[in-house]
Chains A and B, each alone.
Chain A
Amino acid sequence: MSDTQEYEKAAATSPTTVAAFATHDRSMVKSIQHGLHQTPWMVPAIVLVGSILVFGLVLGQKFFSPFALTLILQQVQIVGILGAAQSLVILTAGIDLSVGAIMVLSSVVMGLFSFRYGLPVEIAVAAGIACGTFCGFINGFLVAVMKLPPFIVTLGMWQIVLATNFLYSANETIRAQDIADQAPLLQFFGNKIAFGGAVFTYGAIFMVLLVLFLAYVLKQTAWGRHVYAVGDDPEAAELSGVQVKRTLISVYMLSGLICAFAGWALIGRIGSVSPTSGQLGNIESITAVVIGGISLFGGRGSIMGMLFGALIVGVFSLGLRLLGADAQWTYLLIGVLIIAAVTVDQWIRKVSV
């Protein structure tokens, strides 16, 4: 460059060494903050291990046994599966209040297709899964194409799906005994593998595999990176070449699909098909996601954190029950955890400041 500006001459003689970050002023707190920024699931993992240790010490064998620990897995399986669906939606800076309702409707469709219409159970299951996916598609279409706020869309869908569920099922329960006799495939996720005192239901195994699979997809595939980009800043994602609408619709459809699987697992868990079950699924799944360190503002967090969040809730409820404490203590502590988790999230965001 021959015609550099006058004021730039000085720059040519300035030091050419690469600026290095000063490392000595990184206090302990700062490095923890940086560590959490890199691995957001650390907090729930630490809390989970800590709470297992504390309850183990207090309760001894009663809690610290393979049976009790796998019982926790069984108890959180539904919330864990719904939480996986919820995580995907929350990563896009949305929220899905209809997960519980879609789960119940899907399970009712599976039950009624085999018992009311006498269809083969495989077809009934496929219909239930299709139903859940379709509900997710409606959510996704309204959010991505009609540009309605996810909170409003899924609040409406929650009511619509739940009402459809009651109208369609006429509020009738299909008894567990009938299902076991005539359509055992519906209870597939209730099957158990036991070794030693540990009991793993297929549903609990499915939950873990699902979370591992989604963790792979989110981290290792282009689609997964796009989910994060859309949640982070949709305009930037659009400008840098992400098909935002398609990504959003696919996320809500996948969420609906997972909810349908949760519905199938729900039949395995409670044995029967009941239109009144799983009513708190949406709130419980959001709780797991938030305690798991996934940001409600989108684009941050990992789905493993959600699994830890769900397990924390499970450990607290079982541990406190075994201690003979009032169940309200569980809710109180979970409330504290939620607020603490969001506080930590806000703190981690300030990492660069």
Chain B
Amino acid sequence: MEPILKGRNLVKRYGRVVALDNCDFDLHHGEILAVIGDNGAGKSTLIKAVSGAVTPDEGKIWLEGKEVKFHSPLDGRHAGIETVYQTLAMSPALSITDNMFMGRELRKPGFRGSVLRQLDHKAMDAFARDKLNELGLMTIQNINQAVETLSGGQRQGVAVARAAAFGSKVIILDEPTAALGVKESRRVLELILDVRSRGIPIILISHNMPHVFEVADRIHVHRLGKRLCVINPKDYTMSDAVAFMTGAKEPPQEAAAA
């Protein structure tokens, strides 16, 4: 079966630094694909290339079998790819609702929306509150409080809720549990499994091996800007995975081809 998201020979250079070196990438329907790799291996660049935040210098990307060329994150979003970036991409002085609906605001019905361009704050607040409740990791009292007044974990929760609420084809999560406590991380993992059960595939980038091995269907090991191998978490241990990713161990031959 054709992968839902496929990248071939992706190259991205920053000056003399090669962040992506003829990298291949496959995401299959309905799976959770974990991407692991050492710091600076190019994981973030890879997901930015498939989400539209950076444009690769070379290589091609296919979404559902159709070639796509993203020039901005907005292009990726219009195609149904929603991303939670490591930096979270939130405007600190704006409210939770404003951030969730940034770039896709709802306008009021009728004259006030079409002519006066007035936003439907009420509908947006209700939707945002609903999504945060669904995620269950919120202890937010006021949906209109500025994001900068939230704790790191709460901010991350808002970012994840935003992606889960709007992603229709692919959801990319870059270190979604990095700033979260044990309990909140558990909620995010449950949310990830829940999203998969709705049939939406997920790309998960994480340094947390227990989390990766728990939820991932396949693990893409990234090393020196390339896909080193793809392994099944059931066939290997965490220390194997770490050994591949640091170069301490040669990758398995048959897995590298997969």
Contact = CB atoms under 8 A, between A and B. Distances in A.
A351 interface: yes
Given A222-B105, A351-B149, A3 B214 contact: yes
A240 B105 contact: no
A186 B90 CA distance: 46
Contact of A240 (B89, B93, B146, B148): B89
Interface string B232-246: 000000000000000
B94 A228 contact: yes
A187 B105 CA distance: 41
A307 interface: no
A37 B83 CA distance: 30
Contacts of A20: 139, 141
A236 interface: yes
B89 A300 contact: no
The 5 closest A-B pairs by CB, nearest first: A241-B103, A239-B89, A222-B105, A232-B91, A229-B91
Nearest to A17: B139
B214 A5 contact: yes
Given A11-B186, A37-B146, A299 B91 contact: yes
Contacts of A235: 87, 89
Nearest to B53: A239
- Residue among B88, B104, B107, B182 having the largest count of chain A Cβ atoms under 10 Å: B182
A104 B139 CA distance: 54
Contacts of B73: 238-241
Nearest to A222: B105
Interface in A121-138: none
A20 B118 CA distance: 34
A7 B182 contact: yes
Contact of A220 (B90, B93, B119): B119
Given A238-B73, A240-B91, A300-B93, A229 B186 contact: no
Contacts of A146: none
B109 interface: no
Given A220-B117, A225-B102, A241-B102, 18 more contacts: A1-B190, A7-B182, A19-B139, A20-B139, A220-B116, A222-B107, A223-B117, A225-B119, A228-B94, A232-B92, A236-B87, A236-B90, A240-B91, A240-B99, A240-B102, A243-B74, A299-B91, A299-B94
Given A19-B139, A236-B88, A352-B149, A229 B214 contact: no
Interface in B187-238: 189-190, 210, 214
15 contacts: A20-B141, A37-B146, A220-B119, A225-B98, A229-B98, A232-B94, A236-B88, A238-B72, A239-B73, A240-B73, A241-B77, A243-B72, A299-B94, A300-B93, A352-B149
A223 B102 CA distance: 10
A243 B75 CA distance: 11
Interface residues of B, number: 39
Contacts of A233: 90-92
Contacts of B88: 236
Contact of B102 (A7, A37, A221, A237): A237
Nearest to B107: A222
Interface in A208-232: 220-223, 225-226, 228-229, 232
Interface in B103-160: 103-105, 107, 116-119, 139, 141, 146, 148-150
B100 to A, nearest CB: 9
Contacts of B189: 1
B85 interface: yes
B212 to A, nearest CB: 12
A14 interface: yes
B93 A299 contact: yes
B66 interface: no
A188 B72 CA distance: 46
B16 interface: no
Nearest to B190: A1
B120 to A, nearest CB: 10
